[in-house]
Every structure is written in C-alpha cells, then in structure tokens.
Amino acid sequence: MNRFDEALRELGLTDLHSRIRRFPDATRTAAEAAAAIGCELSQICKSLIFAADGVPVLVLMDGASRVDVELVRKELGAEKVTRAKADVVRETTGYAIGGVPPFGHRTKTRVLADRSLLDHDVVWAAAGNPHAVFPMAPKDLIAHAGATLVDVREQTQTQTS
C-alpha cells in the first residue's frame, strides 16, 4: 500500500479510490492534468510547498493562478518565503513534485488554501504520483487538508481601454 492509499484509509476516504484517474502520460503540470481530464485549468488544485523562514508550508492554488509569495509572507508573518527545493518537497511530503497531493503527507505542515478553489463545484488534485489525479469538492478538500482559507493569488494586471 502506498503512502497516499494509507492516507485515504486514515482519513476515512477509501471510497475515493474508485474515483482516482490514472493516465499513461504524466500530469505533472496543471496544464497537462487539465488537458488529460478535459477540465478548465482553474479546476486543477496545485499543491505547492514553500519555505517560510525555512519552515515548509503547503499552499493549495488553482491551476490557472500563481501564488503571490509576498501575500503568503504577510499571511504567515514570516521574514522570507521562497519556493521549496525538490529535496525539501520530497522530505516534507513524501512525494515528488508533480505528484504532491493536498493531504496525506509525511510531516504535518501548515496549509493555506487560496479562496479561488471555491469557484468550482469540483477540483482535481494529484493522487500521490504524476500519473494520477482525483476529484473532490473544494470545501471537502480544504477540510481534509486542514487548510486555512486565504487570498494569496497573484493579481494579474488587466488593462481596460
């Protein structure tokens, strides 16, 4: 049994097994996952690890948006927030980048979920490896991840003429 299967069992989510979709090609990026599933890019839930003053923190973000590290820094009251290196991601979560699920990690980390995830009835997240994803209602996903709902999405500058 892999780590993600174990996490589903511990969370009482074994019924999710039947909804996991596996793909022959990697769905490592949000764009690859959205194309494989046939959903909007914003329906992908990215699980991103950052280091806030050296302490790993998980940020859940919709696939069409970028995380504003300055907003994360303010939210956490940290001095410095940076993207975690691949070895830190694996050490913290037990998963490789591209397959990090929103919950079921090796270590307990602080979790922030961007409010944009609530724009959808269902979002898709990585299921422990780059070839598998699962669907879940955003509210349930945020609850199972133990996340705090925040606004940490990078605001795109749109010009009106």
Query: Domain tally for the chain?
Result: 1
- Residue-level pLDDT at 110: 96
Alpha-carbon separation of residue 113 from 5, 17, 64, 142, 152 (angstroms): 22, 23, 14, 7, 8
In a domain, 32, yes or no: yes
In a domain, 159, yes or no: no
In contact, 90 and 123? CB cutoff 8 Å = no
In a domain, residue 41? The reply is yes
Contact 71, 52 (CB under 8 A): no
In a domain, 49, yes or no: yes
Residue 155 belongs to a domain: no
Domain of 27?
3-150
Task: Kindly state whether residue 17 falls inside one of the protein's structural domains.
Answer: yes
Strands 110-114 and 55-62: parallel
Q: Could you tell me if residue 72 is inside a domain? A: yes
Question: What's the confidence (pLDDT) of residue 2?
Answer: 83
Task: Note the pLDDT of residue 3.
Answer: 87
Is 160 part of a structural domain of the chain? no
Terminal C-alpha separation, the chain: 56
Q: What is the pLDDT along the chain (161 residues), one digit of tens a residue?
A: 688 999 999 999 999 999 999 998 888 899 999 999 999 999 999 999 999 999 999 999 999 999 999 999 999 999 999 999 999 999 999 999 989 999 999 999 999 999 999 999 999 999 999 999 999 999 999 999 999 999 999 987 554 54
Report pLDDT for 92.
95
pTM (2 d.p.): 0.93
Could you tell me the CATH number of the domain that includes residue 88? Answer: 3.90.960.10
Q: Which of 157, 128, 4 is nearest to 66 (CA)?
A: 157
